[in-house]
Amino acid sequence: MHIAFWTVYYLQEILLSITWSGPSLHVESDGHLLWIAAQASLVGLASKLLLTYFVLAVSIKQILSGKSPLYKIVTEILLVFAFSIILYWAVSFYIVSPHIYKTAQDAPPLDIRTVLVAMIDIGFIAGLAVAIKFVRIQLVGKEREKNLVKEKLETELKFLRNQINPHFLMNTLNNIYALARKKSEDTPEVVMRLSELLRFMLYESGGDFISLAAEIKVLEDYLELETIRYNERLSVSFEREIDNDSYQIRPMLLLPFIENAFKYGVSETRFKSFINIHIRAKNGCLNFMVENTKDINDSAPCKNNIGLVNVRRRLELTYKEYALDVKNVADIFTIDLSINLNSHVEI
């Protein structure tokens, strides 16, 4: 980038030298004029390189580190700038004029006009280089900030997904404990089904997304595990309308809603209960509804339990277009979720 920058500037200096100084040199050919302009422009770079790279390599680092006082930095820049102007003047009248342009003359003193010309010529290119440097620093900073935000959100998503596992395990172990206390013959089968679900969590849910078919299979396995515990006291309806099983979804995104229906609904009621589940996926849009009985006026399902708080945040971090409607009325608790499966948030 530095080579490209100075190459473009050098070519522009050659063009300006030919335009402004060419007519007064009275050279015989355009090739000779080009050679003279190239030499003059090359030696003229010395003073500009000095100031530019002092600011880039020293001053900017001092400014960014914050270790040097501002007055010291400004003083150093002004001193180098003054030396660059003297070098610019010396090169022009002791090298370019007598040896390149062949127009030897006594070097005039450093008057105000010469100083202003030098300041404009040196200051322009140095200022341009410094401006580009600060733009690059800003762009790099924004990219770094973007990457940090991305890493933070990815870490949060992993944490939320990992949080589901112990939450689910705790609920299931409570079920096994209840069956064991009753000395139920279904306890071994529940343990076996739990091991199958844990196998899925360990080996199949590690990716960012899984197929909708795999997610539904987890829901079915969990429902079978729970219905063993409740037997005739629980009526479960699970309706599916899926036009494509290959839709991708976050692993175990839907399971917390069903867990919630059991933990705060069925397990809290003393009479016959029901859970109605309906899942519909069409044209990339998913509709998921869970309806369950609960004790009258029991507000527990609406509290900020881990499962619902977790899944709300995962939805925010995953999808741009979704709607989650929670209804808690009388003895019925309903969760209605709609997701555009194609509206992924770019982290």
Per-residue pLDDT band at 337 (split at 50, 70, 90) = very high
- Tokens 């090169």 correspond to 91
Q: What pLDDT does residue 290 have?
A: 93
Whether 285 contacts 341, CB under 8 Å = yes
Beta strands at 332-340 and 322-329: parallel, antiparallel or unpaired: antiparallel
Check whether 229 has a pLDDT greater than 80.
no
| Alpha-carbon gap, residue 26 to 33, rounded angstroms | 9
User: Is residue 81 very low, low, confident or very high in pLDDT (cuts 50, 70, 90)?
Assistant: very high
Say if residue 125's pLDDT is above 90.
yes
Query: pLDDT at position 204, please?
Result: 65
Residues 237-274 pLDDT 10s: 999 999 888 899 888 888 888 888 887 777 666 677 88
Sequence-separated (6 or more) residues with CB below 8 Å from residue 247: 211, 212, 281, 284, 286, 341
User: Is residue 137 pLDDT above 70, yes or no?
Assistant: yes
Angle between helices 112-181 and 45-54 (to 10 degrees): 40
* pLDDT score for 183: 76
Question: How many CB atoms are closer than 10 A to CB 297?
Answer: 9
Amino acid at 15: L
In degrees and rounded to multiples of 5, residue 297 shows phi and psi of 65, 15
| Domains of the chain in sequence order | 2-145 (no CATH), 150-340 (3.30.565.10)
pLDDT at residue number 168: 64
Backbone angles phi, psi at 114, to 5 degrees: -65, -40
Instruction: Identify the top-confidence range among 28-37, 81-90, 165-174, 203-212.
Output: 81-90
- List, in sequence order, every beta strand (DSSP E) within the chain: 210-211, 234-242, 248-249, 273-282, 285-293, 322-329, 332-340
Compute CA distances 149 → 138, 153, 346, 347, whole Å.
Answer: 16, 6, 11, 8
Is residue 52's pLDDT more than 90?
yes
Is-above-0.85 flag for pTM?
A: no
CA angle, corner 21, sides to 18 and 23, nearest 5?
Answer: 90
Give the span between the Cα atoms of 58 and 267, in whole angstroms: 70
Tokens at residue 237, please?
């309806």
pLDDT in tens, 139-195: 888 888 777 676 676 666 666 665 555 656 676 777 677 777 777 777 777 777 777
8-state DSSP, 100 = I
Which residue from 134, 4, 131 is spatially nearest to 61, judged by alpha carbons? 134
Range with the lowest mean pLDDT among 12-26, 95-109, 284-298?
95-109
